[in-house]
Amino acid sequence: MKEIEIYTEYITLGQFLKIADIIQTGGEAKMYLSEAVVLINGTNDTRRGRKLREGDVIEVENQKFVIKKCE
Count: domains in the chain:
1
Per-residue model confidence as pLDDT tens digits over 7-31: 999 999 999 999 999 999 878 998 9
CATH number for the domain spanning 52: value is: 3.10.290.10
Q: Is the pLDDT of residue 71 over 90?
A: no
Please say whether the beta carbons of 57 and 65 come within 8 A: yes
Tell whether the torsion through CA atoms of 13, 42, 65 and 23 is positive or negative. negative
pTM score, whole prediction? 0.90
Q: Containing domain of residue 25, as a range?
A: 2-69
